[in-house]
């Protein structure tokens, strides 16, 4: 897995509450990435797949203007 940035748009109260409920049992102490990320945060097991829309990627490979569309249920 490679870190591509954070997503902080596209959530409403219902989707944020549902996502938090689904992520809570997946909390882990360490980052799931091969390269250490300097962000503080709550890390989870990579078990869910989200659909993220974005406008472009930066030269460093980070997504620009990411927007949460929802969790994928078809996998």
pLDDT digits (tens, 9 = 90+) for 1-53: 778 889 999 999 999 999 999 999 999 988 887 777 887 788 899 899 999 99
Res 48: pLDDT = 93
- Which residues, in sequence order, are CB contacts of 1 under 8 Å at separation 6+? 32, 33, 34, 46
CA distances from 30 to 41, 59, 71 (A): 10, 27, 23
* Domain ranges (residues) in the chain: 13-71
Mean pLDDT of 47-66: 94
Rounded to an integer, what distance in angstroms lies between the CA atom of residue 47 and that of residue 30? Answer: 15
Model confidence pTM above 0.85: no
- Angle at the Cα of 67 (from 2 to 72), degrees rounded to 5? 70
Res 70 pLDDT > 80: yes
C-beta separation of 42 from 29 below 8 A: no
């Amino acid at each position: 897995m490679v870190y591509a940035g954070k997503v902080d748009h596209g959530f409403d109260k219902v989707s944020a509450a549902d996502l938090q409920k689904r992520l809570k049992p997946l909390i882990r102490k360490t980052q799931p990435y091969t390269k250490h990320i300097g962000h503080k945060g709550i890390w989870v097991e990579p078990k869910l797949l989200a659909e993220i829309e974005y406008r472009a990627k930066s030269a460093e490979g980070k997504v620009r203007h990411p927007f949460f569309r929802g969790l994928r249920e078809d996998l």
